[in-house]
C-alpha cells in the first residue's frame, strides 16, 4: 500500500501546530500496518536544508508563476517529496505569514501548487494507491485528481481555516469556472480550497469522533456544516495520537526521568526554579498552547482567581493574540503566576513533566494533543467537554472515581463560571492525596499512542484501494 501524504507542515522539520505533529507521526505509525507513506511538503528553507539525497522525480516549467521541481529524499526517518519552488517557498520567517504578521497574499497559489504537484506525482511519478490530504492547504488535490488518478482522503484538522481566495484567482489556480457554484468550491462568493476538498475527496476524516459529530452543527461547522451533513456517510472520526517515544517520562532526555506519579516531584522542583515560582499549597497548573480565543484563554483569565485563592499556581508557555499576551503578562504580577511568551520545545517538556495539572479550556478543539501529553506524564488534564478533549479524558465524576476510571476534569459549558468551578474541583482532588494519586496513575495508563488510529487509517486506505 503506497500512500502520498500531503501537508503544509511536518514535525520536526517545520511546525506551527498539531497538524505538523500528526503529519510527522503518521508514517512510522502506519509502517507497522504495511503502509509505505511518503510525505509531500513545500520546499521551505528549513525543509530544503534538512533534505538528504534529493532526486528529481517531477518538473514543472510553470507552477503557479515559476519553475518547480519535486525532489524525493529523506530527512531523518521521514521519506519526503519536496516541492522546490523558490518563487513560492524560499522565504524566511513564518510559513504562512509575512513580516507584517498577515497571511502571504499569494498563499492560495502557494498551496494550490502543493496540491497540483501532489496530484501529478501520485498519478505517474510515484504511483500512489491513495493520496492523503491534510487541511485546506492540500484541499485542492482531490479537485485536481477528479479527472483521473488515485482516490483521495481529506483530513480536517481544523475546519475554521478555509483557504479562501478571490474569484479572480479561478484561472490562475487552474480551476474550472463551471465548478464555481454552491455545490462546488464556491463559498459566499469566494473560492474555498477546503470546500473543494470536502466536495471532491473520496473519503473525509477528522481527528476525533466527537469533532466529526460536532461538524454537522452550525455552531462548529464554520459555515460548512451543510456540506458535512451531505457527506456524513463518507466521514470518519479517527482520534489522533502522540509519539510515545518522544513523549515518554521514563526516557525523556529533557526532564528528570520518571516512570510513576511519584517521580514527578523533582520535575516540579525544577519547573518552579525555571519559572521563578515559590512553593505553594495548591496544584501547579500548566498551559502549553497558542493564545487564542478558540483556546479559551480569555475565560481562564477570568477564572484564574478561583485557582489562586486555593493556593494554586499557573505556569504558561505560549504566544498568539497580542491582547491575551499582555493580559497574561499583567496576571504574572501575582507571584504565583509565571508566563513565557513564545515557544520552546524543551520548556514544553519541562512544563508537562513538572506540572500537577494541564489546562485546556478550548471553546472547540478538533482533537488536542497537550491533554494526551499530560496524561502520559501524569499531569492531570482539566479540559472543556468538546471535540477530542471529550474523547480522551474521563471526568472525575463520583461514578468514575468509584470505578477507578477517572483521568481528569471535564468542564461544560465552556464559560468562565464553569471553568472556575472546574478549577475548584481540581483543587478538591488535589487535597485528597490518595484520590489524586489514583487519578494520576489512571492518566499514565491511558492509551495515547497511534496504534489503534493507525489501524483505522490503514483500513480506510484498503477500502479505497479496492
What's the total number of domains in the chain? 2
One domain for residues 437 and 455: no
One domain for residues 406 and 280: yes
Model pLDDT, residue 147: 87
Q: Is residue 249 part of a domain?
A: no
* Beta-carbon-side half-sphere exposure of residue 320 (alpha carbons within 13 Å): 20
Task: Report the percentage of the chain scoring pLDDT > 90.
Answer: 95
One domain for residues 230 and 277: no
Contact residues for 411 (Cβ-Cβ < 8 A; gap 6+): 361, 382, 383, 384, 385, 418, 419, 421, 422
**φ, ψ dihedrals at 101, nearest 5°:** 80, 5
One domain for residues 372 and 413: yes
Per-residue model confidence as pLDDT tens digits over 27-73: 999 999 999 999 999 999 999 999 999 999 999 999 999 999 999 99
> What's the whole-number mean pLDDT along residues 391-405?
97
One domain for residues 339 and 209: no
Model pLDDT, residue 17: 83
List binding-site positions for ADP-alpha-D-glucose: 15
Q: Is residue 255 part of a domain?
A: no
List binding-site positions: 15
Q: Is residue 185 part of a domain?
A: yes
One domain for residues 223 and 321: no
One domain for residues 285 and 163: no
One domain for residues 131 and 272: no
Q: Is residue 246 part of a domain?
A: no
The CATH number given to whatever domain includes residue 403 is 3.40.50.2000
The parent domain of residue 198 ranges over 2-241+450-465
How far is residue 290 from each of residues 307, 385, 396, 441, measured CA to CA in Å? 21, 19, 26, 28
Per-residue model confidence as pLDDT tens digits over 116-157: 999 999 999 999 999 999 999 999 999 999 989 999 999 999
One domain for residues 55 and 154: yes
> What's the whole-number mean pLDDT along residues 7-27?
93
One domain for residues 343 and 407: yes
One domain for residues 313 and 229: no
Residue 424 CB burial class (10 angstroms; 0-12, 13-18, ≥19): middle
Per-residue model confidence as pLDDT tens digits over 201-244: 999 999 999 999 999 999 999 999 999 999 999 999 999 999 99
One domain for residues 95 and 165: yes
Amino acid at each position: 500500500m503506497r500512500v502520498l501524504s500531503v501537508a503544509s507542515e511536518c514535525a520536526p522539520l517545520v511546525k506551527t501546530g498539531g497538524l505538523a505533529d500528526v503529519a510527522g507521526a503518521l508514517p512510522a505509525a502506519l509502517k507497522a500496518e504495511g503502509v509505505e507513506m511518503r510525505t509531500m511538503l513545500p520546499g521551505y528553507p528549513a525543509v530544503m536544508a534538512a533534505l538528504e539525497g534529493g532526486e528529481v522525480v517531477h518538473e514543472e516549467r510553470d507552477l503557479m508563476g515559476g519553475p518547480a521541481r519535486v525532489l524525493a529524499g529523506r530527512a531523518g526517518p521521514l521519506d519526503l517529496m519536496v516541492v522546490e519552488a523558490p518563487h513560492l517557498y524560499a522565504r524566511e520567517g513564518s510559513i504562512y505569514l509575512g513580516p507584517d504578521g498577515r497571511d502571504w497574499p499569494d498563499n492560495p497559489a502557494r498551496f494550490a501548487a502543493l496540491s497540483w504537484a501532489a496530484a501529478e506525482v501520485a498519478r505517474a511519478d510515484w504511483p500512489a494507491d491513495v493520496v492523503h490530504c491534510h487541511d485546506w492547504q492540500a484541499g485542492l488535490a482531490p479537485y485536481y485528481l477528479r479527472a483521473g488518478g488515485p482516490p483521495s482522503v481529506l483530513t480536517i484538522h481544523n475546519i475554521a481555516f478555509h483557504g479562501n481566495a478571490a474569484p479572480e484567482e479561478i484561472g490562475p489556480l487552474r480551476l474550472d469556472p463551471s465548478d464555481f457554484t454552491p455545490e462546488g468550491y464556491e463559498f459566499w462568493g469566494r473560492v474555498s480550497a477546503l470546500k473543494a476538498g470536502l466536495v471532491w475527496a473520496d473519503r473525509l476524516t477528522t481527528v476525533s469522533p466527537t469533532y466529526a459529530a460536532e461538524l454537522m452543527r452550525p455552531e462548529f461547522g464554520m459555515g460548512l456544516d451543510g456540506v458535512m451533513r451531505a457527506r456524513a456517510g463518507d466521514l470518519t472520526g479517527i482520534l489522533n495520537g502522540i509519539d510515545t517515544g518522544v513523549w515518554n517520562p521514563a526516557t525523556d532526555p529533557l526532564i528528570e526521568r520518571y516512570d510513576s506519579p511519584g517521580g514527578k516531584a523533582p520535575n516540579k522542583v525544577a519547573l518552579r526554579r525555571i519559572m521563578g515560582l515559590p512553593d505553594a499549597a495548591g496544584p501547579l497548573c500548566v498551559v502549553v498552547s497558542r493564545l487564542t480565543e478558540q483556546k479559551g484563554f480569555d475565560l481562564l483569565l477570568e477564572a484564574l482567581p478561583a485557582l489562586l485563592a486555593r493556593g494554586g499556581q499557573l505556569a504558561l508557555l505560549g504566544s498568539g493574540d497580542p491582547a491575551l499576551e499582555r493580559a497574561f503578562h499583567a496576571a504574572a504580577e501575582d507571584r504565583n503566576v509565571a508566563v513565557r511568551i513564545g515557544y520552546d520545545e524543551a520548556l514544553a517538556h519541562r512544563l508537562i513533566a513538572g506540572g500537577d495539572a494541564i489546562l485546556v479550556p478550548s471553546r472547540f478543539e478538533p482533537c488536542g494533543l497537550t491533554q494526551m501529553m499530560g496524561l502520559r506524564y501524569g499531569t492531570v488534564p482539566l479540559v472543556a467537554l468538546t471535540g477530542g478533549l471529550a474523547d480522551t479524558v474521563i471526568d472525575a465524576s463520583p461514578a468514575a472515581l468509584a470505578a477507578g476510571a477517572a483521568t481528569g476534569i471535564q468542564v461544560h459549558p465552556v464559560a468562565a463560571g464553569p471553568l472556575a468551578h472546574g478549577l475548584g474541583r481540581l483543587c478538591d482532588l488535589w487535597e485528597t492525596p490518595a484520590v489524586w494519586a489514583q487519578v494520576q496513575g489512571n492518566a499514565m495508563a491511558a492509551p495515547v499512542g497511534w496504534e489503534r488510529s493507525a489501524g483505522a487509517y490503514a483500513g480506510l486506505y484498503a477500502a479505497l484501494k479496492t
